Structure 1
Amino acid sequence: MEESIYNIITDDPLPPKRQKKYRSQFPGTIQPSYSTFANQSNVIQVKNISGDYQLSSNRYASESGTIGKAKTQQLSPIKPRIMGTNNLDEWIEKGSLIRSREFVHSHRNKLKPLVPRSIEKPTMGLQSNRNFIATNKIDVILKSPKQPQEDPNWLTKKNYGQIPLYLSQIKDQLQQSYLEEQNNAKQQLEEQNNKLQLLSEEELQQIRDGLKQRYDEVNKQYQQYTHLKKVDTVGQKRRKEQFEKELIQLEKDMDKMKKQYVFIEK
């Protein structure tokens, strides 16, 4: 292909072909599927708009159906529905309303002027001999000069240096929550103290003597197992371990009872 400047010129795009206008296979005068709008009864004229449709003028779709009234039974005529009206004069003639005085709309004078009609032509060609440039010059000359406005002095403000109201409210809320927490903690401490009872010195001494006596008895039995060369049986091993655990627990209890004040739960 030979080089040519005409090759740079692109062809004009072809306009797309106009498709055929869509036309429904059903007439546009029938109502939508399963619609009873503006009917005098609940008769559904169109049962399936996506397939075959049959316009039924009777109140029952099928004359030979097993549900509904028989074919021989005569149907009562459908009474046309009486529609109401919003005409005030007709209501007054029927006696439903009584006109006590002539009604006048209170907003008639407050409405905006009506929009001009299409047949009305606006007045055109109005001209004025006023010289707006000279008028503006005169207005500027006669106008009083603007007075410089001083910056506001915030030191002279009424509430200058005072704590804002919202900060005082937040402080009160924090103080109230702190007092509530203190009261709750105090109540819990009082309840806990009411559940405890202080042991007297005589009771403490009795408990100490009992623990010491029990410790001596268990220690004496435990010392007998320490002289054995072999602890072969399972029972001997269990008893030795039980004595060791009991001695350790007795030592802990004796350490607790050595304190000056001992409390117990009621």
Structure 2
Amino acid sequence: MEPEAESIYSLIPRPQPAVIKPGRYRSKHPGTINARQFVMGVKQAREHATFGLPGGQLAEPPAKFLKSHQKEPLLPTPGPPHHERMLRKSSVPSRTEKPQMGLVSQKNFVTANAIENILAKPKVHDTSERLYILKPDFGEVPAYLQRNREQIQQERQQAVTMAPSSEMSMQEREELVGQLKEKWAVVNEAYQKLPFSLDTPTKKRRKEELEKQLGQLEKDIKLLSRGDRLLVVDD
């Protein structure tokens, strides 16, 4: 849509349309009413206050309203129970009735118990699965352990035969012994610095580790100091 072109005639003031107001509201009821008519109108309004139809007949008049517990069922007046046959407990013995005394059984329970045990059949227990000593392979080494043992021996022989080895010289032995002694001195110094009271698990564990290291170092030093022939396997 094209915009309206500008014109000088648009500057001329245009007349405004007149506003037509609606007519004033007037009630259909008369504006004048006396006291009697007012009371009668209120009475009619009260008669239809219980949702009754205008001009209809109410089921119950407004004065007869529902009261508390009116719709509850009425129970009969309680009275004594009427049973055709009442269960009664046995009567208490009177003072004149005397209990029977001196009733003793003639049965010898010791002899009867002995006879029952003598004549009873012994219980049969199935011991076929529990007698392991009767099995033909009892006491023999299992086959899988023999196979594992033979396999370990073969691997050791192959490692000894295939790995190149050389004899350790005296100079190498002395150098190794010196290094072990230096390490022993370091571990011993740490062991001497331990506190006297080992009141925590950490201190006890530290002492056990140092004692284990000292014992292993002493064994290695003693082994190298004996002068036995030592073979060094090259990796």
Q: Which has the higher contact order (CA 8 A, sep 6+)?
A: 2
Q: TM-score, normalised by structure 1?
A: 0.26
